[in-house]
Homo-oligomer: A and B are copies of this chain.
Amino acid sequence: MIMNDNASSASPSHSELAQRIRAFVNERVIPHESTLARDDDAALTLQSALAAEARSLGLWGLYYPAALGGKVARLSDYLPIAEQEGRSEFGPEIFGGRAALDVRMLSLHGSDAIASRFLHPLAAGDAVSAYGMSEPDSIGSIPATINLQAQREGDGWRLNGRKWFISRARRADFITVVARTLADAPPQQALSMLVMPTDAPGFSILRDLDILGRRNGQHELLFDNVRLPQDHLLGELHGGMALMKQRLRLGRSINAAHWIGLAQRCLDLLGERVNSERGRLARLPDKQLIRRLAFITHQGIVSARGQLQLAAARLDAGLDGDMEVNMAKIAASHALNQAADNAIQVFGAEGLCDATPLSNIFRYARATRILDGADEVLINTVGRRILDGYGASAEQPAPQDALAGRETTLS
Binding site for B on A (CB under 8 A): 1-5, 7-8, 15, 18-19, 22-23, 26, 134, 137, 139-142, 145, 164-165, 209-214, 218, 267-268, 271-272, 274-276, 278, 281-282, 285, 287-295, 298-299, 302-303, 305-307, 309-310, 313-314, 317, 327, 330-331, 344-345, 348-349, 351-354, 359-360, 362-363, 366-367, 369-371, 374-376, 379-380, 382-384, 386-391, 394, 402-407, 409-410
Contacts and interface: CB of A to CB of B under 8 A. Distances in A.
A56 to B, nearest CB: 22
Given A282-B142, A310-B302, A382-B295, A353 B211 contact: yes
Contacts of A164: 349
Nearest to A27: B399
A272 B210 contact: no
Q: Which 5 A-B pairs have the closest CB atoms?
A: A306-B306, A291-B383, A271-B390, A288-B288, A213-B213
Contacts of A210: 353-354, 359
Given A359-B213, A402-B26, A287 B376 contact: yes
A29 B165 CA distance: 28
Stoichiometry, copies per complex: 4
B294 A403 contact: no
B134 A349 contact: yes
Nearest to A37: B213
A390 B165 contact: no
Contacts of A142: 281-282
A407 B278 CA distance: 26
A387 B18 contact: no
B4 A363 contact: no
Given A140-B348, A213-B214, A288-B288, 13 more contacts: A2-B405, A19-B402, A139-B278, A211-B353, A288-B380, A291-B379, A291-B386, A293-B376, A295-B379, A298-B386, A303-B306, A303-B331, A362-B366
